[in-house]
């Protein structure tokens, strides 16, 4: 299957993940040292130490999320795959921050605060992504942000693939026709666009983003 990543969604997720990560970093400080959730028995580090690490956390987040494939965005990606990528990304960010604090002997060092940070970051990113994808699905069902697909073949598997795409209209993948070298009377009811040699030209001319081999 040939796919093209949506740059707009990609940019939205990058900005959103960065904002949520930085907000979670600040929120983790107050959750840990406010004394309302966990008693504080040691000296509370000054809030300026927390703020000083914001640029470091932001850079680490951008790098880590990219490394683990958190922005490998496509229409057929499952929630489980996205959840695993987010979990890996948050874990990597936390590890990078803790390693940096250890080598720098930073005065702001709290394992419980890091736990709060990891939970808040992972939970908020997953929640906002589910909300975003839900909104995108509704728009796709109404015809917005649809992408074109071509199915190679005209047999039973090809027909089932076309039917599956019609039933799963939330993915926003619209089948515009079939490609077949040897059309027969059994495929006369299908929209045959050409043969396999015509496929490269069809993909370019019709702006096809997905090619299914059936």
Q: What is the pLDDT of residues 42-51, one digit of tens each?
A: 778 889 988 9
Say whether pLDDT at 2 is over 50.
no
Average pLDDT over residues 108-127: 92
The SS3 call for residue 181 is: coil
Instruction: Show the tokens assigned to 58.
Output: 């932001």
Q: What is the pLDDT of residues 135-178, one digit of tens each?
A: 887 877 776 767 888 999 888 898 898 888 887 766 778 888 89
Average pLDDT over residues 84-100: 94
Side-chain-side CA neighbours of 86 within 13 Å: the count stands at 26
CA dist., res. 21 & res. 123, Å (int): 10
**CATH for the stretch 147-213:** 3.40.50
Q: What is the pLDDT of residue 3?
A: 45
Q: Which of 150, 93, 172, 163 has the alpha carbon at shortest distance from 125?
A: 93
The partner residues of 174 in beta bridges, in order of sequence, read 148
Q: What share of the chain has pLDDT > 90, as a percent?
A: 33
| Residue ranges matching CATH 3.40.50 in the chain | 147-213
Average pLDDT over residues 109-129: 93
């Amino acid at each position: 299957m040939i796919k093209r990543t949506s740059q707009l969604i990609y940019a939205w997720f990058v900005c959103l993940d960065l904002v949520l990560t930085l907000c979670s970093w600040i929120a983790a400080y107050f959750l840990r040292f406010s004394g309302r959730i966990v008693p504080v028995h040691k000296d509370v580090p000054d809030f300026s130490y927390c703020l000083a690490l914001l640029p470091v956390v932001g850079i680490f987040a951008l790098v880590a999320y990219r490394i683990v494939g958190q922005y490998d965005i496509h229409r057929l990606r499952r929630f489980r795959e996205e959840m695993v990528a987010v979990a890996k990304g948050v874990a990597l960010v936390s590890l990078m921050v803790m390693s940096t604090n250890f080598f720098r002997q930073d005065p702001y060092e709290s394992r419980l605060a890091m736990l709060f940070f990891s939970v808040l970051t992972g939970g908020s990113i997953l929640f906002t992504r589910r909300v975003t994808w839900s909104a995108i699905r509704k728009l796709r069902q109404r015809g917005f942000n649809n992408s074109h697909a071509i199915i190679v073949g005209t047999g039973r598997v090809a027909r089932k693939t076309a039917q599956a795409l019609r039933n799963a209209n939330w993915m926003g993948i619209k089948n515009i026709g079939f490609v077949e070298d040897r059309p027969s009377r059994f495929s006369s009811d299908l929209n045959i666009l050409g043969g396999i040699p015509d496929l490269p030209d069809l993909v370019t001319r019709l702006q096809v983003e997905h090619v299914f081999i059936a």
